[in-house]
A and B are shown apart, each in its own frame.
Chain A
Amino acid sequence: MSADNLPMVRALSVRKTFGQNEVLKGITLDVKQGEVLCLLGPSGSGKSTFLRCINHLETIDGGRIYVGDELIGYRQVGDVLHELHPADIAKQRSSIGMVFQRFNLFPHLTAIENVIEAPVGVKGISREDAIARGKELLARVGLADRADFYPSELSGGQQQRVAIARALAMDPALMLFDEPTSALDPELVGDVLDVMRDLAKSGMTMIVVTHEIGFAREVADTVVFMDQGVVVEAGTPSQVLDFPQNERTKSFLRSVL
């Protein structure tokens, strides 16, 4: 999807308004190939909204978002933007994996059926191949023995790991995580973070909205602190978490640590 010298994600002055409320006030940032970027910030800071703009679940009101060399949601001809056809948007999304706070597994399908649904139905991979690959992925997230379980038969942590396997089954170039551990019981958080840590090690480009400061410190290449729709501070985990410069970052870190 992208040439080597291009960033995997490039956001330029991204703005988003809900009614009167401007939730993103010009977000500019780059995510390099293989980089893990953690987005921190108080609730309502716009971090989840920004994440959802990257795969066009939310449309943006200003700025540009590129994933690889593709402009998300639009086609630019000269200075004029043309809305993309839903089929083209779907194609862009199919190479961007997303993991949700509430898992959003398909409850009427078993774990393995959840994983193979899109590869078979969207990419047209044969069912046998998809199942073989799906089982590998379930094994990778530690759920080889849960393939035939329905989501309602799995714990929250297991459901979230199936959701990660489901996203990986589309061979995404980029993975978006929207507070993946916020809905989990504390003792189940570790398993999900372990899977994400392995994924980061394997070189996956990841943008993670999270409240897990420890995870951000350990795994992130870049930590971005957002508040009230702007990037307040960005840098290495040490820069942002240990030596924050901005007062808002300092007070946020005091409240969560």
Chain B
Amino acid sequence: MADAPKNTEHDIVAKPLRHPGRVVAAVIITVILGLFVWSLVSAKTIDHDVIFKYLFDIKIIQGMGLTVLLTVLSMVIATALATALAVMKLSDNRLLRIVATGYIEFFRGTPLLLQIVFWGYLGIIYPNIIIGLPFTDVVWFNQPTSAVISSFAAGLIALSLNEAAYAAEIVRAGILSVDKGQNEAAKSLGMSGWYTMRRIVLPQAMRVILPPMGNETISMLKSTSLLQVIAVSELYTIANQISSQNLAQIELLVVAGFWYLVLNTILGFPQRSLERKFGRGFETNALTRTAKVGINVGG
């Protein structure tokens, strides 16, 4: 063995390794970003007063409200539908599997914009919505389609049905991520299939489902702007209407863009708290609690 180094009983005191590349990269990026922001702020083509005037305009705020409402409602409807589709796709019943697969293929395979326009035009295909006994004269309900399905409802249906197809695959992956032994343990305790799904499998699947569903929610918030084509008064439609009158297109795009960014940032909070709730009992936070409980209770 070579000469033993001295002072090995002390903590290591060493000069940190330098990273000159990181400093250079930071400077370059800061300069480029600064120049870009300056170009926007100093641009004579953008009227900054118009941006601030409309940022808190009542119509813009109302449009935002509708955007949030559409996002929340369609995510709730889509998640419920997606869970049903996922369970159908995993079912032993071949017909249910085929129906679910067909649904998913259809709604993922056609553009969302096309689906939105389709639901908006539903009144042209079916002028009246009639509920009664088929092939008889018995009719309980008969109204013009336009009266029953407003553009808001058409938009909500379009977004929900489309999203359900994507979310179904996420929920299915979540269900499949739960260990097979969980099902066997539940069965051996006399639990029914539905009970097991609701109380044992889905709560564990949530851990895998939530992060991608957060992505889907962000995506949904932005997709609501597509409802402009069927004149739903959400944020982008309103901004568009205002700018078509005052011709400040860029300024109102900035206003709308700002609020989409703010809303999506806010959406991150419930996401994180849900992830914590369904993460209970799984490795990362369990370790910290064990550490707090102490190690004097081994065994």
Q: Number of B residues whose C-beta is below 8 Å from A?
A: 28
CA distance A106 to B202 in the complex (A): 12
Q: Please state if B297 and A145 are interface contacts (CB–CB under 8 Å).
A: yes
B270 at the interface (CB under 8 A from A): no
Q: Which segment of B28-36, B159-167, B187-195, B232-240 sits at the interface?
A: B187-195
Q: A106-B182, A158-B299 are in contact. Are A152 and B192 (CB under 8 A)?
A: no
Q: Beyond A57-B184, A107-B204, is A122–B189 a contact (Cβ under 8 Å)? A: yes
Flag whether B289 is at the interface (Cβ < 8 A). yes
- For A140, the chain B residues whose CB sits under 8 A away are none
Contacts of A150 in B (CB 8 A): 280-281, 286, 289
Q: A96 an interface residue at 8 Å Cβ cutoff? A: yes
- Using Cβ atoms and an 8 Å threshold, which residues of chain A touch B181? 100, 102, 104
Query: Which chain B residues lie closer than 8 Å to A105 at the CB level?
Result: 185
Query: Which residues of the partner chain A approach B185 to less than 8 Å between Cβ atoms?
Result: 98, 100, 104-106, 163
List of B residues within 8 angstroms of A7 by Cβ: none
A87 touches B281 (CB 8 A): no
Say yes or no for A173: interface residue by CB 8 A criterion: no
**Residues in A105-125 with C-beta less than 8 Å from chain B:** 105-110, 117-118, 121-123
Q: Beyond A100-B181, A108-B203, A108-B278, is A55–B286 a contact (Cβ under 8 Å)?
A: no
- Count, chain A residues at interface, CB 8 A: 40
Q: Which residues of A contact B191 (CB under 8 A)?
A: 90, 118, 121-122
Once the chains bind, are B188 and A106 in contact (CB under 8 Å)?
Answer: no
Give the distance to chain A from B116, nearest Cβ to Cβ, in Å: 38
| A60 and B270 alpha carbons, distance in the complex (Å) | 49
From B189, B192, B299, residue with most partner A Cβ within 10 Å: B189
A107 and B297 contacting across the interface, CB-CB below 8 Å: no
Tell me whether B39 is interfacial, beta carbon within 8 Å.
no
Query: In the complex, which residues 242-299 of chain B have their Cβ closer than 8 Å to any Cβ of chain A?
Result: 278, 280-283, 286, 289-290, 293, 297, 299
Q: Which residues of A contact B199 (CB under 8 A)?
A: 117, 121
Question: Which positions in A face B, CB cutoff 8 Å?
Answer: 55, 57, 86-87, 90-91, 93-98, 100, 102, 104-110, 117-118, 121-123, 145, 149-153, 155, 157-158, 163, 166-167, 170, 191
Chosen A-B contacts, 9 in total, with CB atoms closer than 8 Å, are A55-B188, A90-B190, A90-B192, A105-B185, A107-B282, A108-B278, A145-B297, A151-B281, A191-B299
